Amino acid sequence: MTLEILTPDKKVFEGEAKSVTLPGNLGFFEILNNHAPIISTLNDGKLTVKGATEEVFFIKGGVVEALNNKVTVLAEGIIHK
């Protein structure tokens, strides 16, 4: 699946991912390939991207949308990578 992580001022990540683990309002959840369509708000916390390697970002809230194997994360900010 294709993943984009965006903040108001820049694109932080764009590429292929096998899974994305996100900090939801009710706890962490994971999006995998062929996930059902979803839109969810996000809390501050760790966002983990698993692909050829694993990357970790610490986001400051936001929203995620998954549709047709494209996941878009609109984060209010990145605390640090």
Q: How many domains does the chain have?
A: 1
Q: Residue 52 contacts by C-beta under 8 Å, 6 or more apart in sequence?
A: none
Q: What is the domain extent for residue 13?
A: 2-80
At 28-53, the pLDDT tens digits run 999 999 999 999 999 999 999 999 99
Residue 81 clears pLDDT 80, i.e. is over it: no
CATH of the domain at 45: 2.60.15.10
- pTM for this one? 0.93
Strands (E), 1-81: 2-6, 11-16, 19-24, 27-32, 38-42, 45-50, 54-59, 62-67, 70-75, 78-80
8-state DSSP, 10: -
